[in-house]
Amino acid sequence: MSSVIESHHDDHHHGPAKGLMRWLLTTNHKDIGTLYLWFSFAMFLIGGAMAMVIRAELFQPGMQIVQPEFYNQMLTLHGLIMVFGAVMPAFVGLANWLIPMMVGAPDMALPRLNNLSFWLLPFAFGILLSSLFMEGGAPNFGWTFYAPLSTTYAPPSVTFFIFSVHIMGASSIMGSINVIVTIMNMRAPGMDLMKMPLFVWSWLITAYLLIAVMPVLAGAVTMMLMDIHFGTSFFNAAGGGDPVLFQHIFWFFGHPEVYIMILPAFGIISHIIETFARKQLFGYESMVWAMLSIAILSFVVWAHHMFTVGMPLAAELFFMWATMLIAVPTGVKVFNWVATMFKGSISFETPMLFAIAFVVLFTIGGFSGLMLSIVPADFQYHDTYFVVAHFHYVLVPGSIFSIMAAVYYWIPKWTGNMYDERMGRLHFWLSFVGVNVTFFPQHWIGLAGMPRRYPDYALQFADWNMVSTAGAFLFGASQILFLFIVLKTVLGGKKATPQVWEGARGLEWSVESPAPYHTFSTPPKVK
Amino acid sequence: MEYQKYYVPESSKFPIFAAISLFILIIGASSTINSLDNPESNASLILYTGLACFLATLFFWFRQVVKENNAGLESTQLSQSFVYGMAWFIFSEVMFFAAFFGALFYVRTFAVPWLGGEGEKGLANILWQDFEATWPLINTPDGGKAFVIAAKSMSFPGWENISHWLPIYNTIVLLSSSVTVHFAHLGLKKGNKKTFNAWLAITVLLALIFVGLQALEYYEAYAHFGLTLNSGIYGSTFFMLTGFHGFHVMLGGLMLAVMLIRSVFYGHFNEHKHFGFEAASWYWHFVDVVWVMLFLFVYIL
């Protein structure tokens, strides 16, 4: 750890270091962005494989492939890995790659902290996954880890789970501090707040949400730890605590968390629709205000996840109406996207296909969310496959489609190569069909009364479960194609121009493709 | 405005060392906690190894940043990044405490009265029908079967006994330390390093006194009141809130002590450049505000 400090006059000519050390020691926002994105892809495939285990077991009624105990572990790890390992790191990776370039900054504001934020993740997930091989198995209480399932009845590996959640939270908080500081402090002169690209805006709001709620999650798992090992009674009524308290704390974190997983998507989709409709985005300012409203409302709706738990009537009514209110700013966004496309000269490259699918399918997920927000109706839907269908519609063709759209949209900027358009479109159509075949029938079997989280089900649900499993394997297989397309693009392909897309606007398109290792060492002029 | 170059280190060993040490640390912590009832377990060795590596990494990392600053690599913009960074870090700490205060408010307003049969969900009383809701909750709902009933709580004992009540001294000590650290800041802004060092030293001393008093309070609770982590929800919230606060006092006191050492032995800080100290003092004021909330909601009300 030498303390030699050199001055750097030749940043522009510096390439990255070679070999493994480049990735371990890097402070470069593009390297760290790449690390995040590959990590997220790996987690997506692992979490996806677990989903395949779940769907394979549900292909037919009765127990065929796995034991119920193992099924529960798959269910839990699938949720945790997809939320904390796949979706969130993918958005952080995009933030790393794009925000400094979009605001005209030389790098992230705190480059070393940035490296730490990433490198904590592989260790945290290494520990989480290793719990599969521990005595008593991996966590088996669902990704929401409700007490007392996660306290009194938890396997011993829950301690490792708790500490790995702490580390994931620390990583998220540090990453978010970095994003906020970069946006507040590193914008090029002339880049006013209301001139910022919407992806940057969406991340400013997301980072604020993350810093506000990740510590609350840390508090929740700490209380679990104390209840399990040190005799406290936060979630135990015998000592005056309350298991419902756990749900309140968890969802105070959990509801902003679901917006953390969709707000950056809103930013991405706005850029892509604008580019391929070849029109300026309709209603930029209302987009910003809508995202801010959604973020603020996200703090006062958490208990709509627990309508059936036994809350006072006034609370049920308050949380119902507050939840419905969110439909207003969300509707503003959907209408703005549609209005942007209206009379545009649209072309349908892969990113645009994913973006349009996002608008339609995310809206379906939004509407089923509205149905769930109605208290008396929720008593019927609660803990059925209808809920599973709802949140998979907002997360898979919502968050994950937006991530795929972003990869296709910006990969020419990252690699300097165009992806294979025909294969990209094939990937889109396979995913689009797969996702709908998987999740649309789940609305029906849910409304018909099939409960979620069970490895077995009654015979009348057999047909649509079979269809759903077929769709899931189609969707899963098409992601292997996605991996292939990405690798092919990294290795070669048609050279990309700096602007890449005819309608693309913004600072990141003003630099060469691939973007130089260091961009904007002196700030660009912003018009 | 002339453009100053933003310093970005080419690469750094510190973060990966920090990540690896945290990895060792949490494996050690989990294994230690999982083998608490096994006296032959050596898991705590892993824990201490990880902790030592982590602290060492932080030491060298911060030392490097201080060196870079003194070498003139910092710019106004970079300093501003540290200012924002610290402010948002403190916000995250506020939210961590919010979780525990939220738990306290929830059990006091809803869970305990419901268990006692009051309010809209008073049906919960069928679980333990003899239970009467009180706060501080000394008699646990199950009548001390699963949890231990304490003899006494830490709450305000009435004006006549106030001179024997430790928290009042804690409050005086901590509130004064916020004032003394402010005096240190004022001295520094005038360029008077002697005043700065003196007031800062007094602040660190007050921090030590506070931690000592807190330790005494815990000793009293465990040895004389029978009030422990096992005393039901009152003990749980009391020890977790004051415990995490005490831990943050130690952290803040350590930060201030480091600043004192930097100032006295290395001559760091002058009237223009002293954000390291300012960050530590912000943290100190934050710890103080948390105490005021604790004093109100844990001890008095």
Q: What's the rounded mean pLDDT across residues B215-228?
A: 94
Smallest Cα–Cα separation from B127: which of B109, B102, B145? Answer: B145
Partner-chain contact B19 A120, CB within 8 Å: yes
Two structure tokens written together for A321: 């109406």
Instruction: Please tell me the predicted confidence (pLDDT) of residue A14.
Output: 57
Smallest Cα–Cα separation from A395: which of A141, A135, A83? Answer: A83
What are phi and psi for residue A149, nearest 5 degrees? -55, -40
What are phi and psi for residue A209, nearest 5 degrees? -60, -45
Determine the 3-state secondary structure of A417 from DSSP: strand
What's the rounded Cα separation, in Å, for the pair B171 and A246?
A: 31
Residues of chain B with C-beta less than 8 angstroms from the C-beta of A176: 88
Partner-chain contact B124 A313, CB within 8 Å: no
CATH 1.20.210.10, domain A27-510, yes or no: yes
**Which ranges constitute the DSSP H helices of B107-231?**
112-115, 166-189, 193-220
- Residue A17: burial class (beta carbons within 10 Å; 0-12, 13-18, 19+): middle
Are the C-beta atoms of A351 and A358 separated by less than 8 Å?
Answer: no
What's the rounded Cα separation, in Å, for the pair A459 and A445?
A: 11
* pLDDT class of B76 with cuts at 50, 70, 90: confident
Whether B299 shows a pLDDT value over 80: the answer reads: yes
**Beta carbons within 8 Å of A365's beta carbon, 6+ residues apart:** A390, A391, A392, A393, A394, A395, A397, A398
pLDDT tens for B232-263 read: 999 999 999 999 999 999 999 999 999 999 99
**Which ranges constitute the DSSP H helices of A280-420?**
284-297, 313-325, 327-341, 350-373, 375-381, 385-394, 401-415
In chain A, what are the domain boundaries? 27-510
Radius of gyration of chain B (CA): 23
Distance from CA of A255 to the nearest CA of B (A): 15
Q: For the stretch A129-142, what's the b/e string if a residue is b when 16 or more beta carbons lie within 10 angstroms of its beta carbon? A: bebeebeebbbbbb
Q: Output the CA–CA distances (angstroms, integers) from residue A140 to A9, A10, A145, A215, A263, in the order listed.
A: 55, 53, 8, 23, 29
Instruction: Please tell me the predicted confidence (pLDDT) of residue B6.
Output: 87
- State the architecture of B85-300 in CATH terms: Up-down Bundle (1.20)
Q: Locate the chain B residue with the closest alpha carbon to A159.
A: B30
Would you please indicate which residues of A are annotated as catalytic (active-site) residues? Answer: 78, 107, 143, 171-172, 255, 257, 259, 270, 304-305, 330, 333, 452
Two structure tokens written together for B257: 């002590």
Partner-chain contact A219 B99, CB within 8 Å: yes
Whether A8 shows a pLDDT value over 80: the answer reads: no
Q: What's the rounded mean pLDDT across residues A203-209?
A: 98
Determine the 3-state secondary structure of B272 from DSSP: coil
Give the best residue of A233, A250, A302, A307 to mutate against chain B (max B CB count within 10 A).
A233
* pLDDT class of B146 with cuts at 50, 70, 90: confident
Distance from CA of B246 to the nearest CA of A (A): 16
Q: What's the rounded mean pLDDT across residues A131-142?
A: 96
Higher pLDDT, B74 or A439: A439
Instruction: Please tell me the predicted confidence (pLDDT) of residue B5.
Output: 83
pLDDT tens for A40-77 read: 999 999 999 999 999 999 999 999 999 999 999 999 99
Partner-chain contact A123 B20, CB within 8 Å: yes
pLDDT tens for A236-273 read: 999 999 999 999 999 999 999 999 999 999 999 999 99
Higher pLDDT, B143 or B19: B19
Give the best residue of B2, B21, B22, B63 to mutate against chain A (max A CB count within 10 A).
B22
Instruction: Please tell me the predicted confidence (pLDDT) of residue B301.
Output: 87
Whether B275 shows a pLDDT value over 50: the answer reads: yes
**Which ranges constitute the DSSP H helices of A131-197?**
158-185
Instruction: Please tell me the predicted confidence (pLDDT) of residue A12.
Output: 45
Are the C-beta atoms of A236 and A230 separated by less than 8 Å?
Answer: no
Q: Locate the chain A residue with the closest alpha carbon to B68.
A: A5
Instruction: Please tell me the predicted confidence (pLDDT) of residue A5.
Output: 42
Instruction: Please tell me the predicted confidence (pLDDT) of residue B93.
Output: 97
Angle at A73 between CA A303 and CA A404, to 5 degrees: 70
Instruction: Please tell me the predicted confidence (pLDDT) of residue A2.
Output: 37
Determine the 3-state secondary structure of A495 from DSSP: strand
Whether B277 shows a pLDDT value over 60: the answer reads: yes
pLDDT tens for A272-312 read: 999 999 999 999 999 999 999 999 999 999 999 999 998 99
Smallest Cα–Cα separation from B138: which of B214, B217, B215, B221? Answer: B221
Of A109, A310, A311, the CB nearest to B81: A109
A243 contacts chain B (CB < 8 A): no
* pLDDT class of A518 with cuts at 50, 70, 90: very high
Of A1, A156, A245, the CB nearest to B60: A1
Whether A466 shows a pLDDT value over 80: the answer reads: yes
In chain B, what are the domain boundaries? 12-73, 85-300
- What ipTM does the predicted assembly reach? 0.95
pLDDT tens for A75-98 read: 999 999 999 999 999 999 999 999
Instruction: Please tell me the predicted confidence (pLDDT) of residue B3.
Output: 63
Residues of chain B with C-beta less than 8 angstroms from the C-beta of A211: 88, 91-92, 95
Distance from CA of A256 to the nearest CA of B (A): 13
Q: What's the rounded mean pLDDT across residues A454-462?
A: 96
Two structure tokens written together for A496: 């990309």
User: Which residues 301-360 of A are in CB contact (within 8 Å) with B?
Assistant: 310-313
What are phi and psi for residue A417, nearest 5 degrees? -120, 145
pLDDT tens for A375-412 read: 999 999 999 999 999 999 999 999 999 999 999 999 99
Two structure tokens written together for B256: 């201030």
Q: Hey, which residues does A9 pair with through a beta bridge?
A: none
Instruction: Please tell me the predicted confidence (pLDDT) of residue A52.
Output: 98
User: Which residues 146-185 of A are in CB contact (within 8 Å) with B?
Assistant: 156, 159-160, 162-164, 166-167, 170, 173, 176-178, 180-181, 184-185
Partner-chain contact B34 A159, CB within 8 Å: yes
Instruction: Please tell me the predicted confidence (pLDDT) of residue B158.
Output: 87
Of B26, B98, B112, the CB nearest to A216: B98
Are the C-beta atoms of B300 and B172 separated by less than 8 Å?
Answer: no
Can you give the length of chain B in residues? 301
* pLDDT class of B161 with cuts at 50, 70, 90: confident
Are the C-beta atoms of A388 and A377 separated by less than 8 Å?
Answer: no
